[in-house]
Amino acid sequence: MNEKLCPCKSNSLYKDCCEKYHSGEKNAKNAKILMRSRFSAYALGLVDYIIKTTHPQNPLFKKDIKDIKNEILSFSKNTIFKDLEILDFEEEENHAFVTFVAFLESIDNENISFMEISHFEKVNGLWLYKDGQFFEGIKEDIF
């Protein structure tokens, strides 16, 4: 595991990239780093990290925590995380926006890529994923 490339597609080794955030050794110093670490956490099925870095006001938390965990796990298991492209990053004092394209494929080879403008909020010094605006049906040949 440790000598593998990071699933956030940074071309760095996992141990030099997102592992320190996933292990809790370090906190992501900005929303762009947090976004990458959440992408790799989805790829690795690190459900607790996803939950930990999600804002309490995110609509996700309207559901039962067990259901949330099962949903994230099944998404992780049934998705091939092909690539990540960050298109834009804007940061204000306590709010940040990251625009990215997640190139994803379902296990039955359906293109389920999407573009998202993620909104992050800094709460007690920690960046958290608050909500996002999705644009589905992104085809790889557009980029």
The footprint of Zn ion on this chain (CB under 5 A) covers a number of residues equal to 6
User: Does residue 33 belong to the site contacting Zn ion (CB under 5 A)?
Assistant: no
Stretch that binds Zn ion, among 9-17, 45-53, 115-123, 126-134 (CB under 5 A): 9-17
d(CA 89, CA 33): 10
- Quote the CA–CA distance of 122 and 31 in Å, as a whole number: 9
Phi/psi of residue 19, each to 5°? Answer: -60, -40
Question: Which of the ranges 32-40, 64-72, 77-85, 129-137 carries the binding residues for Zn ion, by CB under 5 A?
Answer: 32-40
Q: Which region among 1-9, 61-69, 76-84, 94-102 touches Zn ion (by CB under 5 A)? A: 1-9
What is the rounded distance in angstroms from the CA atom of residue 84 to the CA atom of residue 90?
17
Nearer to Zn ion, 16 or 48 (CB): 16
The answer to whether 44 contacts Zn ion (rule: CB under 5 A) is no
The verdict on 115 binding Zn ion (CB under 5 A) reads: no
* Position 74, amino acid: S
Among 17, 28, 50, 138, contact with Zn ion (rule: CB under 5 A): 17
Rounded least distance, CB 59 to Zn ion, Å? 26
CA distance 82 to 90: 25
Which residues make beta-bridge pairs with 84? 102
Locate 135 and state its tokens. 């644009």
Binding site for Zn ion (CB under 5 A): 6, 8, 10, 17-18, 40
